[in-house]
Structure formats: C-alpha cells, structure tokens
C-alpha cells in the first residue's frame, strides 16, 4: 500500500469524528481507503507470522525418522497465515468494488455485495470482475477458493457442518485439496494475485 493511500485514509478518518454514529459507519464502510488500509494491516500481520513459521519441515520416507511435532507446529501456524491472506484479499476485492462505485454500508448496516457470500473469494472476484478487469487465471482463482476455506479453518477446528457447502470454485476437472499449499509455488501465485488486484489503485 502506498504512503499516499495511507495518508488519505487518515485524512478521511480525521474528518468524520464529529458525525453521528450511523453516518460514521456508512462513510467508513463505503470508503475504499479504509478497506485498502485493512488489507495492508492483514498482509503485514500474515508476513510477520509467516516469517515466524520458518521453512516447512521435510518429511523423510522413513516414518520413524519424521519429526511430526515440528511438522504440526508449522502447519497449525501456516493455516493462520493463509487465513490472514484470505481476509486481506477479501478486503482488497471489496476496496475495488467500492472504488468502482459500489456500496457496502447503508443506514448503519453492512450489505453483502449482490450475488456473493462473505468469505467466498471466488464469487467475490467473479462479481468484481464484471466491472473491473482483474486478469486472474484459473489457477489463481483456485487459490482464492482454498484461501476462502482457510478463512474458516484458520479460526475454527471444524466447518459449520459435516455436510456444509465448501467455498465456490471455478469449473474444473478433479477435486480441490482444501488444505494443500505448495511452497514456493502457491506463495508466488498469491503474490501475483495481490499484485494484480493492487494495480486497480495505480495512480491513486
């Protein structure tokens, strides 16, 4: 996030302190600068946590030589990293939606973008792409589906139900491995996604 964008968010924030609560809610909720600022905070937090994870442990072919505790310590933290990354992308997509004239707050209430569900990044990206060319590939859209899953699994040990519907996915052959994350391949793809989405704010 550019310093000028951070400054703009601060300026807007200073201007609303004396407004009634409902007006503050609507102004903040419909100002893309605040959503972009939250994106920056979530990405920064995910990066700090990712550094703390260290390198993923290598599991040998011999089960008795595997350090399962070290592997689990890595996995449980990295799932939270993915949760934060997914939440950052959600805020970023909503910032783009607002920048193109959409709304998210009305009369003191949050409103879901039509045709989407909260935390379903594939649906959200599909809807936003109707008004903004995002340039995301099918493989990148698959990553969004897995990040959507991580938004829940990074916080809770289970989904809402055993038969609960998984996040939306692009049409594809085969199944998505929801917990899968290949390093460095998927990290690089995530950086590509963020870069493409952030380009919507070039010149701001």
Residue 4 has pLDDT above 70, yes or no: no
Place of tokens 């995530």: 190
CB proximity list for 66: less than 8 A, separation 6 or greater: 59, 60
pLDDT category of residue 55 using cuts at 50, 70 and 90: confident
**pLDDT, tens only, 65-108:** 567 778 888 888 999 999 999 999 999 999 999 999 999 999 99
- Within a 13 Å sphere around the CA of 152, how many CA atoms are in the beta-carbon half? 18
Q: Which residue has the tokens 């040998």?
A: 60
Residue 8 clears pLDDT 60, i.e. is over it: no
Q: What are phi and psi of 109, to 5 degrees?
A: -130, 145
Q: Nearest-CA neighbor of 200 among 137, 128, 152?
A: 128
pLDDT tens, position by position, 11-34? 555 667 788 999 999 999 999 999
6 token code pair: 């951070």
Contact 98, 35 (CB under 8 A): yes
Tabulate helix, strand, coil % of the chain (nearest 5): 60, 0, 40
Share the mean pLDDT of the chain. Answer: 87
Domain ranges of the chain: 3-201
Contact between 147 and 86 under an 8 Å Cβ cutoff? The reply is yes
Task: Give the pLDDT of residue 7.
Answer: 46
Dihedral (C-alpha) 25, 193, 198, 166: value to the nearest 10 degrees? -10
Average of per-residue pLDDT across 130-140: 95
Of 81, 98, 116, the C-alpha closest to 190 is 81
Q: Is the pLDDT of residue 163 over 90?
A: no
| Euclidean distance between CA atoms 108 and 130, whole angstroms | 27
The DSSP output letter for 137 is -
- Looking at the DSSP bridge assignments, the partners of residue 105 are 110
């Amino acid at each position: 996030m550019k310093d000028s964008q951070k400054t703009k968010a601060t300026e807007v924030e200073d201007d609303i302190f004396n407004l009634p609560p409902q007006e503050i809610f609507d102004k903040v909720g419909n100002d893309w600068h605040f959503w972009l600022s939250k994106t920056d905070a979530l990405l920064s937090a995910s990066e700090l946590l990712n550094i703390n994870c260290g390198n993923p442990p290598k599991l040998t072919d011999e089960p008795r030589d595997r350090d399962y505790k070290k592997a689990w310590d890595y996995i449980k933290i990295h799932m939270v990293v993915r949760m934060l990354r997914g939440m950052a992308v959600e805020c970023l997509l909503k910032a783009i939606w607002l920048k193109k004239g959409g709304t998210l707050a009305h009369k003191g209430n949050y409103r879901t973008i039509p045709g989407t569900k909260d935390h379903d990044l594939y649906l959200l990206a599909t809807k936003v792409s109707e008004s903004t060319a995002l340039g995301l590939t099918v493989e990148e859209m698959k990553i969004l589906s897995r990040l959507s899953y991580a938004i829940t699994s990074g916080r809770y040990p289970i989904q809402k139900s055993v038969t609960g519907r998984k996040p939306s996915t692009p049409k594809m052959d085969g199944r998505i491995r929801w917990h899968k994350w290949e390093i460095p391949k998927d990290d690089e793809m995530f950086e590509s996604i963020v870069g493409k989405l952030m380009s919507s704010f070039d010149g701001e």
